[in-house]
Amino acid sequence: VTRFVDGPLVDHHCHGLVRRDLSRAEFERLLNESSGPSALGGSVFDSMVGLAVRRHCAPLLDLEPLAEADAYIARRLELEHDEVARRMLAACGVADFVVDTGFMPGAVCGPATVAELAGGAQAHSVARLETVAEALLADGTDAADFVALLVDRLKSSGAVGAKSIAAYRVGLDLPAEKPTEEQLVRALADVAPDRSGAFRVAHPTVNGYLAWTAIELGMPLQFHVGYGDADINLRESDPLRLTPFLRATQDRGTPILLLHNYPFHRHAGYLAQVFEHVFMDVGLALHNVGALGRTLLAESLELVPFGKMLYSSDAFGLPELYQLGSTLFRRGLSSVLSDLVGAGELTEPDAHRIARLIGSENARRVYHLAGN
Ligand SMILES: [Zn+2]
């Protein structure tokens, strides 16, 4: 069932995982974008991602496929938490993890630990622009020094790319011109700390300036697009809103990677087709839709050039999510390709080549990763 997608993958967008024992409620809180089981709507296990855990993760913990949720959680607690992580990550067949280190760094492990738990994969990091900017502001950086220090921090980060979470803060109507430093300084004056002293960059000029800075530094720029937790206004995070920004940056030579995209994955496929520097994935959505992922992949492939689609899990917290991302990607894409081969629309070597492009080669080209 994964015959065309059996090679090593590059997971070009994921996070760290939680290294401690989790109760059923804590596990459910991390399983999808909800805040956990709903008093009105029941367990997160009663959803496609819950079924996927029982179907595809239970056997890795020596349980029968589709073991009950309580039995799954009990077995998880019986094994040491790092042992669970090692089993899940080894089953991914991921050679390189590209890890966003900017979200709740205190709660999850770093890139090196993810790669080590996977049994010796390569680890890379992505710098989250808003986190870098907020750290500068928290350090008391003067607005006049902000630009130089921002560029310094990004250049010295060792990251293979940058990530914008403008979608979470101001939506994706980013400026089609880089704001001037004067405009930036004025905007920074409006960014005030909360009561705890933490800054939250949510100003169109500042979020826009950050994205433009990554473009000018030539750092492959990821955007959170579409599907996310209740903190996002999904309506404001349709990738079509980025069109003026994409048009304005297309001659810069910096790749732009649209992450997740669901339910706007067809919009993302269109943008990847018409703008030379635009790429996409359907991470996060893929494990959430579980066994229905074939449709999601097929709809994405309607327009996206095969050289513009990437694999990501967008796993955060639970080791199961890396494994589900990989398994459902392999099964879903193989199913789509098999049908095309069966219908005489594609040769078998074509199918293998397309699977390699999407599974690893596109990411290696975009982020300049070594290896095959
Ligand atoms: Zn993410």
In tens, the pLDDT along 39-88 reads 888 899 999 999 999 999 999 999 999 999 999 999 999 999 999 999 99
Q: Is the pLDDT of residue 356 over 70?
A: yes
Q: Is the pLDDT of residue 371 over 90?
A: no
Dist. CA 224–CA 218, nearest whole Å: 18
CA 347 to ligand 1 center in whole angstroms: 34
Dist. CA 365–CA 67, nearest whole Å: 41
CA 246 to ligand 1 center in whole angstroms: 21
- Average pLDDT over every residue of 139-151: 93
Q: Is the pLDDT of residue 372 over 80?
A: no
Q: Both tokens of residue 258?
A: 């649209």
Q: What is the DSSP letter of 38?
A: B
CA 191 to ligand 1 center in whole angstroms: 24
CA 1 to ligand 1 center in whole angstroms: 27
Q: What is the pLDDT of residues 307-351, one digit of tens each?
A: 999 999 999 999 999 999 999 999 999 999 999 999 999 999 999
Q: What is the pLDDT of residues 212-223, one digit of tens each?
A: 999 999 999 999
Dist. CA 269–CA 261, nearest whole Å: 9
Q: What is the pLDDT of residues 10-43, one digit of tens each?
A: 999 999 999 999 999 999 999 999 888 888 888 9
Q: Which residues pair with 86 in a beta bridge?
A: none
pLDDT of residue 2: 84
CA 99 to ligand 1 center in whole angstroms: 9
CA 104 to ligand 1 center in whole angstroms: 11
- Average pLDDT over every residue of 146-153: 96
C-alpha closest to that of 300 among 229, 354, 368, 366: 354
CA 232 to ligand 1 center in whole angstroms: 13
Phi, psi of 99 (to 5 degrees): -110, 125
CA 13 to ligand 1 center in whole angstroms: 6
First to last CA, the chain: 24
CA 165 to ligand 1 center in whole angstroms: 10
CA 42 to ligand 1 center in whole angstroms: 25
Q: Please state, for a pLDDT cut of 70, what percent of the chain lies above it.
A: 100
CA 161 to ligand 1 center in whole angstroms: 14
Q: Is the pLDDT of residue 251 over 80?
A: yes
pLDDT of residue 164: 98
CA 60 to ligand 1 center in whole angstroms: 24
CA 372 to ligand 1 center in whole angstroms: 25
- Average pLDDT over every residue of 264-289: 97
CA 100 to ligand 1 center in whole angstroms: 7
CA 314 to ligand 1 center in whole angstroms: 5
CA 339 to ligand 1 center in whole angstroms: 31
CA 287 to ligand 1 center in whole angstroms: 13
Band the pLDDT of 104: cuts 50, 70, 90: confident
Q: Is the pLDDT of residue 286 over 60?
A: yes
CA 169 to ligand 1 center in whole angstroms: 15
CA 203 to ligand 1 center in whole angstroms: 21
How confident is the prediction for the chain on average, in pLDDT? 96
CA 18 to ligand 1 center in whole angstroms: 15
β strands within the chain, DSSP E? 9-14, 94-100, 122-128, 161-164, 221-225, 256-260, 278-280
Phi, psi of 349 (to 5 degrees): -60, -35
Dist. CA 168–CA 132, nearest whole Å: 16
